[in-house]
Amino acid sequence: MSGKVIVVTGASSGFGNLTVLELARRGHTVVATMRDVDGRNAKVRTDLVEAAKAEGHNLQVLEMDVADEVSVNATIDQVFEQHGKIDVLINNAGLMPVGITEAYTVTDIERLFAVNFFGAVRTDRAVLPHMRAAGSGLLVHVTSLMGRVVFPFFGTYSASKFALEGLAEAYRYELKGFGVDSVIVEPGPFPSNLIASSPEPSDQAVLATYGAVAAVPGQIKAHANEGQGEANPPRPQRVADAIADLVEATDRRPLRTVVMPEGLDFGVHRLNEAVRPIQNDLLTSSGMSDML
């Protein structure tokens, strides 16, 4: 199998970091993107490049801020100029606020959506004209189990992931005739730095009115940090493996791929299976079955 040219967003840590290394191991040409590659993430860039080189693989790291359209367009143009194509875009960049939903201001939520939702809008729009012209391509959207179910105190995060699910599914139907596929990966609660780096809500006046309930998000974060020291923690590499398998699939890819830590089941599989025939019937009754 010939390698593909793949762009991954949010590659500085977590699933993105593991995914770029896994794809490089499998012989693909991987462009890992992140912010601040000459500053805060300079060591991350060096570590990624050296890790790939030590195994005999090539991996490129480029500056890209998905919240900045100029940055996105410039980086995607650079990749096309250098490699002549982009076969796969993996939208992984994201933030995870954990807090009292009402206490997140409109500005707070706009900042979140700039990354979690509009970041994918920007990158998808940057690559899609080239993919449609080529008659092939793959968009991978990393959402979450909280893009399908809702937990208290994760309301703004769930809202952004629900939105991303809707975007990705609409692309799935509309792009089929162009040979471009759009899929969704729904990871479960794997260890990551997302909760530790959770953006705090800005409206302190609202927080003060919630009494003891306002302390619960802090308890969630503390519990997540304690879980990092488990003897046998869930393996986030499973998410990277699932993404790489989707990239290399030769049959029709599933719209949604759920990746849960072993032994956990939050009902997302069952929810997806229940919704699928309803969605299919909707398109079929509307005369759009060819888009399925």
- Are 72 and 123 within 8 A, CB to CB? yes
Residues paired with residue 184 on neighbouring β-strands, in sequence order: 141, 256
Any idea what DSSP says for residue 253? Answer: P
Q: 272: closest CA among 191, 185, 189?
A: 185
- What the block records as the tokens of 101 is 């939903």
**Which of the residues 157, 171, 173, 210 is marked catalytic?**
157
Apex 89 CA angle, 86 and 91, nearest 5 = 160
Alpha-carbon distances of 215 from 25, 100, 151, 212, 224, rounded to whole Å: 43, 9, 16, 6, 15
- In angstroms, the CA 30 to CA 246 distance is 15
To the query of whether residue 173 is one of the catalytic residues in this protein, the response is no
Closest to 290 in 3D by CA, of 186, 199, 176: 176
Are the beta carbons of 87 and 181 closer than 8 angstroms? no
Read out DSSP for 181-206? EEEEEEE-S---STTTTPPPPS-HHH
Active site residues: 157
